[in-house]
Amino acid sequence: MSTMHALTFTGGVRRANPFLHVVIPDCIDLTLAESLLRWFEKEAPWQFSAVDEFYQLLDMDLRGAILPKDLRILVDGSFLEDVRTNMADLMNARLTSKIDVTAHKMQVGCRIGTHTDHGSLGQTHRLLIHLNRGWTAEDGGLLMLLDEERPSPQSRNLRCYLPHHRRAIGFEISPNSYHAVSTVVMGDRFALCFSFYGHP
């Protein structure tokens, strides 16, 4: 599979509230998505990460994993350059060639508390590609974008996204990029994650 067909950014919709983000339906090729999801479910070397009850998931660095042949494209240099270029265009940002490629697995009972990811690592943008089988609102695990750390129930600047299979959410990372993931109620929730770094 060529790098230009692995991901598509066509149809991405930019939204300004509660902070700049983009929603891309069917971002990842159907065959690649199925292969990746099967690997996530059966063979991937997940490691548990937790910070008290605030941050609960299993994760891995794809660059350090032994990937099946059909998944090696995900860490290929030309592929990542295409991803960087498209993400920079969508977000109107200047991004360096440094890209982290990780993945997340959230099991029943896992959640991620409200945070911004802004800090010493220097990441400025993120692209999350969700990979899940028939996910519904009743399964939990909603990605929530907020305009403050503790929004009121009446807050209008709150967006919730189901982790629809193959849909990507890209967003800027700043002191105000508050986001969280609600508790997973049923099933395993998977996401492929690209983290980008801006020019100083």
Q: Is 79 helix (H, G, I), strand (E, B) or coil?
A: helix
Q: DSSP states of 139-157 as a string?
A: GB--EEEESSSS--TT-SS
Q: Would you state the pLDDT for residue 156? A: 61
Q: For 33-40, which contacts have Cβ atoms below 8 Å and span 24 or more sequence positions?
A: 33/131, 33/165, 33/166, 35/68, 35/70, 35/71, 36/71, 36/74, 36/131, 36/192, 37/131, 37/132, 37/133, 37/165, 37/190, 39/67, 39/68, 39/71, 40/103, 40/105, 40/131, 40/190
Low-confidence ranges of the chain (pLDDT < 50): none
Contact 87, 169 (CB under 8 A): no
Length of the chain: 200
pTM: 0.93
pLDDT of 87: 96
Q: Which two tokens stand for residue 133?
A: 């089988």
Three-state SS sequence of 5-39: HHECCCCCEEECCCCCEEEECCCECHHHHHHHHHH
- Which run of H or of E encompasses 83? helix 77-91
